[in-house]
Amino acid sequence: MYDLGKEQLLNGVDAQPAYAPVCVEKGLVTLAIDSWCFGERKHDEDGHRGEEDTFKSMLWNGQVLYGMMMFDEFRAMDYLASRPEVDANRLGVLGMSMGASKAWWLAALDPRVRACMDVCCLTDFEELTRIHNLSGHGVYYYVPSLLKHFQTAQINELIVPRPHLSVNGRLDGLTPPAGVERVRHYLLPLYQRYGKEEDCHIELFDCPHWELPQMRKLILGWMDDYLVKPTKS
């Protein structure tokens, strides 16, 4: 949905109702940006069209598309934290699909993130390879040499012990369930060491690439507990 971009926050999509009304009701200051190749940024500065052209052009110039996408998210976080109406001690990230990947990457790399909520994209790289579905994710997802250093669980380990909610579809080919369970089994003992087991909630639902009402209920509760009226850690 390259035409959509940041408008998903306001308008939602079939797979996920809009979050803007919910955030307004809860008093959450919310920021969504157009990622590279989406919305008003469907063309890069050199006029390249689409994700694949942009990815290839960046490789030639010594850049990585996902790295540039995450750089933008860091800058967006800087701006959000600088706003006078924002409590910089209560910053959270939420995303679905590509947005989910960006959410847990940002939470892993930026300690300012108090709570991470990701929907339908906690992908174990080895399991995705095993089921032969690398083509399911866009080319942006593939960072050169990443597997020489990290698997999904090890990236998410950087979030520990901060609160992390991840909801995924058991029928979603982008998040093979055995891989989601592998990540959960890796992370839960780490949270237990801090006495924070309840702050790690990774769950599978019987659905494809879709946010179910049950998922939404968990997310809204997470927002209340950790961002709106943080009675928990």
- The distance from CA 140 to its chain's CA centroid, rounded to whole angstroms, is 14
Is residue 139 within 8 A of residue 65, CB to CB? The reply is yes
> What stretch of H or E contains 127?
helix 125-130
Checking 187-193 for CB contacts under 8 A at 24+ apart, the result is: 187/153, 187/156, 187/157, 187/160, 190/157, 190/160, 190/161, 191/160, 191/161
pLDDT per residue as tens digits for the range 1-54: 788 889 899 999 999 999 999 999 999 999 999 999 998 887 666 665 789 999
pLDDT of 28: 97
pLDDT of 115: 98
For residues 11-23, one letter each, b for 16 or more C-beta atoms within 10 angstroms of the residue's C-beta and e for the rest, the string is ebeebbeebbeeb
pLDDT of 186: 98
Task: Give the pLDDT band (50/70/90) at residue 232.
Answer: confident
Task: Give the CATH number of domain 7-228; options: 3.40.50.300, 3.40.190.10, 3.30.465.10, 3.40.50.1820.
Answer: 3.40.50.1820
Helix 50-60 to helix 65-82 angle (10° resolution) is: 100
pLDDT per residue as tens digits for the range 141-153: 999 999 999 999 9
Nearest Cα neighbor of 164 from 129, 122, 207, 131 is: 122
Looking from the CA of 226 toward its CB, the CA atoms found within 13 Å total: 23
Rounded to 5 degrees, what are φ and ψ at 137? -95, 150
Summary mean pLDDT of the chain: 94
pLDDT of 47: 63
pLDDT of 233: 61
What percentage of residues in the chain have a pLDDT greater than 90?
Answer: 89
